[in-house]
């Protein structure tokens, strides 16, 4: 059954149209042998190159990679009421946020359901970027602003993030942008020059490795007859050769081990931020008003019923999970399901992410994982990120 599904998947083609947007870097990733794409926020996201996911995992852990993550679209909110609107969107207090900072923020609906978990960048007192996961926050923000009669402008700027990830990322970017790179602290950014353009470079990224994200702006500009986006890619690529650079993309093994969740896959609007272990961003004593506050307060009072946990389980190495794997207790009662799972060559066992019921979420809890081969494998619950 599973092999026939894999064969069908390999035969499926992605029909391109204006609804699925290319990026300033798509030509380069195609030249470097991209093997798969997915679509996030109506934009292409590379999902694989020539290396296996295991080769890619070790390379990311030891060297440096260049990722086209332009699909991380920005919702730009500017104007006199910009802070007021952004604060209304999230339970995380923003009053002390300084320009140059990046904040991870949960965005909730009226039921305290997670509708996005973006990174917020403060560009100025009256301008913010919300770097979103795969759900439409632009229209949500527009609706809230309109209903609240706030004086803001909301738009999607021509900004295309390019990630440089891996332990050699700092040395590589220092060779391109200078020693100022070393001064960028985690979840901070600086504005640096690239051939007359001003680029925001943040120390951040969708991996557990050190790395940076360049919020490339200047899609319509050219340098020596080359589009500025391709010039940026080429410059980093050439400088990266002595650091054993490789094209890459978010690695599933690295992401799972780091406890990095994927919106729409590991959690949805049916999950509240406590279930996603985001308690520190949801202080119940916060005095500011935000959407979902009443529902979130009720959840606090009633207690959290389930939480995201890691699962380490036995058996032959599994391929990336195409559909959830039920997690059972010893009485075969379903207590969760693995939404992202794969074999870890470091841990030398299968690993997965699962939201687990309260009575079973403690470290060391023994569970069973019902895999696609209809076998039940012994597993253990662990906290996140996975142990080193």
Measured from the Cβ of residue 77, the count of other Cβ atoms closer than 10 Å reads 29
Phi, psi of 96 (to 5 degrees): -95, 5
Q: Is the pLDDT of residue 83 over 70?
A: yes
133 lies in some domain: yes
> For position 55, which CATH number holds?
3.30.1360.120
Q: Is the pLDDT of residue 5 over 60?
A: no
Residues 301 and 375 in one domain: yes
Site of tokens 């309109």: 146
Query: What average pLDDT score do residues 22-28 get?
Result: 96
Q: Is the pLDDT of residue 4 over 70?
A: no
Residues 271 and 344 in one domain: yes
The per-residue pLDDT for range 168-227, each reduced to its tens digit, is 999 999 999 999 999 999 999 999 999 999 999 999 999 999 999 999 999 888 888 899
Cis peptide leading into 385, omega within 30 of 0? Answer: yes
Question: Which pLDDT value is given to residue 13?
Answer: 65
> For position 79, which CATH number holds?
3.30.70.1400
Query: What average pLDDT score do residues 320-332 get?
Result: 93
Give the containing element (helix H, strand E) for 30: helix 26-31
Residues 184 and 243 in one domain: yes
pLDDT tier at 9, thresholds 50, 70, 90? very low
Domain boundary among 254, 284, 300: 254
Burial class (CB in 10 A: 0-12, 13-18, 19+), 58: middle
Domain boundary among 225, 254, 283: 254
Residues 143 and 200 in one domain: no
The token duo for 249 is 């993309």
Q: Is the pLDDT of residue 291 over 60?
A: yes
Share of the chain above pLDDT 70, in %: 96
Stated pTM of the model: 0.94
Query: What average pLDDT score do residues 275-304 get?
Result: 93
60 lies in some domain: yes
Mean of the per-residue pLDDT values for the chain?
94
pLDDT tier at 292, thresholds 50, 70, 90? very high
Question: Which pLDDT value is given to residue 219?
Answer: 82
99 lies in some domain: yes
Check: CB of residue 354 under 8 Å from CB of residue 339. yes
The per-residue pLDDT for range 102-119, each reduced to its tens digit, is 999 999 999 999 999 999
Q: Is the pLDDT of residue 17 over 80?
A: no
Residues 180 and 95 in one domain: no
The token duo for 356 is 């687990």
Instruction: Show the domain range for 373.
Output: 255-382
Residues 277 and 346 in one domain: yes
387 lies in some domain: no
Residues 293 and 367 in one domain: yes
Q: Is the pLDDT of residue 128 over 60?
A: yes
Domain boundary among 113, 139, 155: 155
Query: What average pLDDT score do residues 360-383 get?
Result: 95
pLDDT tier at 18, thresholds 50, 70, 90? confident
Q: Is the pLDDT of residue 285 over 90?
A: no
Q: Is the pLDDT of residue 68 over 80?
A: yes
Residues 109 and 237 in one domain: no
The token duo for 333 is 């009662």
Residues 300 and 182 in one domain: no
Query: What average pLDDT score do residues 339-353 get?
Result: 97
300 lies in some domain: yes
pLDDT tier at 78, thresholds 50, 70, 90? very high
Q: Is the pLDDT of residue 3 over 60?
A: no
The per-residue pLDDT for range 139-177, each reduced to its tens digit, is 999 999 999 999 999 999 999 999 999 999 999 999 999
Provide CB contacts within 8 A for 225, sequence distance 6+: none
Residues 302 and 177 in one domain: no
Check: CB of residue 189 under 8 Å from CB of residue 201. yes
Residues 38 and 104 in one domain: no
Task: Tell me which residue of 189, 245, 237, 213 sits closest to 70, measured CA to CA.
Answer: 213
383 vs 364: CA distance, rounded Å: 9
Check: CB of residue 223 under 8 Å from CB of residue 235. no
Residues 149 and 181 in one domain: no
Question: Which pLDDT value is given to residue 179?
Answer: 98
């Amino acid at each position: 059954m599973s092999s026939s599904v894999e064969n069908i998947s390999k035969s499926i083609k992605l029909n391109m149209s204006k609804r699925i947007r290319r990026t300033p870097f798509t030509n380069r990733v195609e030249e470097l042998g991209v093997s798969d794409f997915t679509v996030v926020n109506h934009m292409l996201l590379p999902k694989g190159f020539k290396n296996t996911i295991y080769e890619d995992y070790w390379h990311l852990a030891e060297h440096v990679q260049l990722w086209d993550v332009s699909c991380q679209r920005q919702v730009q909110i500017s104007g006199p009421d910009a802070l007021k609107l952004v604060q209304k969107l999230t339970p995380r207090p923003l009053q002390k946020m300084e320009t140059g900072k990046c904040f991870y923020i949960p965005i909730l609906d009226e039921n305290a359901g997670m509708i996005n978990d973006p990174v917020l960048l403060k560009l100025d007192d009256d301008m913010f970027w919300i770097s979103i996961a795969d759900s439409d926050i632009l229209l949500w923000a527009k609706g809230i602003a309109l209903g609240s009669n706030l004086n803001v402008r909301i738009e999607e700027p021509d900004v295309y993030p390019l990630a440089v990830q891996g332990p050699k990322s700092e040395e590589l970017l220092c060779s391109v942008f200078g020693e100022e790179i070393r001064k960028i602290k985690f979840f901070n950014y600086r504005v640096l020059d690239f051939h007359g353009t001003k680029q925001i470079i943040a120390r951040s990224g969708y991996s557990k490795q050190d790395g940076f994200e360049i919020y490339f702006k200047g899609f319509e500009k050219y340098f020596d007859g080359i589009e500025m986006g391709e010039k940026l890619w080429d410059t980093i690529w050439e400088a990266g050769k002595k650091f054993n650079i490789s094209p890459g993309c978010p690695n599933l093994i690295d992401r799972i081990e780091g406890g990095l969740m994927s919106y729409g896959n590991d959690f949805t609007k049916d999950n509240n931020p406590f279930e996603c272990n985001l308690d520190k961003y949801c202080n119940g004593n916060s005095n500011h008003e935000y959407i979902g506050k009443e529902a979130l307060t009720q959840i606090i009072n009633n207690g959290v019923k389930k939480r995201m946990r890691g699962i380490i389980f036995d058996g032959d190495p599994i391929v990336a999970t195409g559909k959830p794997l039920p997690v059972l207790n010893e009485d075969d009662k379903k207590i969760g399901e693995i939404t992202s799972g794969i074999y870890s060559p470091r841990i030398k066992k299968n690993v997965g992410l699962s939201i687990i019921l309260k009575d079973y979420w403690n470290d060391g809890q023994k569970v069973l994982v019902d895999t696609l081969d209809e076998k039940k494998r012994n597993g253990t619950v662990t906290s996140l990120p996975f142990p080193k």
